Structure 1
Amino acid sequence: MWRNCNKLILLSVRWNLYDLKKVPECLLLKTQRTASPRAPPAQPYSSMATPACPERAVRVVTYEQVRGFIEDKSALIVDVRNPEELREGAIPTSVNVPLGELEHALRDLTDEQFRARYGRAKPRPTDKLVFSCRLGGRAAQATQTAAALGYCNVFNYKGSWTEWAERSRK
């Protein structure tokens, strides 16, 4: 009995890995402790694959790829800049959903509410979404937010509006 109790005391030092239960009959501790491994911690949703989203990779796209998406209408371009920043211009066909509103818009708004507010149909989790901003930083945050909400085909246009404006002038 003592030997069993001592082994379990050593295990109790690593309490964060085990669930300990009190069982009577340990003379030293007045109870005997038994240990069973805990389940591993859950992974964040954004890194988990689902049947609808077998791959959760966030990809970066180039100017040429964004032009292709616009021409074949295969992706929704989402500009996450604030409305006052749009005075500089915007990528054609893009919809403005400011970064501060993005999570709420994708998670909480119904299809009708999204259309009324942004003038476009709410994207489905399997739709291709390309995020842009002014320089690419907010677009990267938006891409991560959408992926965390379960959107599978999300792309970060790293060059964003700055690159688009420069290359479109040529």
Structure 2
Amino acid sequence: MKRITAKEVQKLVVDGKKLNIIDVREVDEVRAGKIPGAINIPLGLVEFRMHELDKSKEYLMVCRSGGRSGRAAQFLESYGFKVINMDGGMLDWKGKVE
């Protein structure tokens, strides 16, 4: 599984890079703030909503600390999706949130 740090993601966001970010935290966690443009698909719903994703795109997986997003990344990878897990999750995120 590919990995990236929150700091590296923040630089990509600041540089205006188009990222496909999936935040797998629960809805109430996301209300506290998410990376701008991230789509919320709680971990328990990833299996049921993966038909909404495009296998030709690369997805950046995010959660609170990196554990749940890692599980989501492994799951999606097993179905042929291109994914990167953000190590440290939102606990390490220092950028803007929406």
What's the TM-score once normalised by structure 1's chain length? 0.51
CA distance in 2, matches of 1:148, 1:137: 17
Structure 1 residue corresponding to 2:6, chosen from 63, 66, 84: 63
Structure 2 runs not aligned, ≥5 long: none
Matched, 1:72 2:17: yes
| Higher CA-based Rg | 1
The percentage of aligned residue pairs carrying the same residue is 31
CA contact (8 A) 2:21 2:59 kept: yes
Deviation, 1:67, is: 2.5
Structure 1 residue corresponding to 2:83, chosen from 126, 138, 154: 154
Alignment-derived partner of residue 19 in structure 1? none
What's the TM-score once normalised by structure 2's chain length? 0.85
**Going by fraction, where is helix more abundant, 1 or 2?**
1
Correspondence 1:81-100 to 2 at 5 A:
81-100=25-44
Deviation, 1:68, is: 4.3
Deviation, 1:60, is: 0.7
How many aligned positions are there? 94
CA distance in 2, matches of 1:65, 1:163: 11
CA contact (8 A) 2:3 2:84 kept: yes
Give the SS at the match of 1:131: strand
Aligned amino acid, residue 89 of structure 1: G
Give the SS at the match of 1:150: coil
Alignment-derived partner of residue 55 in structure 2? 125
Deviation, 1:123, is: 2.8
Deviation, 1:104, is: 1.4
Q: What do you get for the CA RMSD once the two structures are aligned? A: 1.6
Superimposed CA distance per residue, residues 52-96 of structure 1 (whole angstroms, 9 cap, x where no aligned partner): xxxxxx1110123312443210x3100000101112211111000
Q: Which has the higher contact order (CA 8 A, sep 6+)?
A: 2
Structure 1 residue corresponding to 2:45, chosen from 90, 93, 101: 101
CA distance in 2, matches of 1:82, 1:64: 23
CA contact (8 A) 2:10 2:95 kept: no
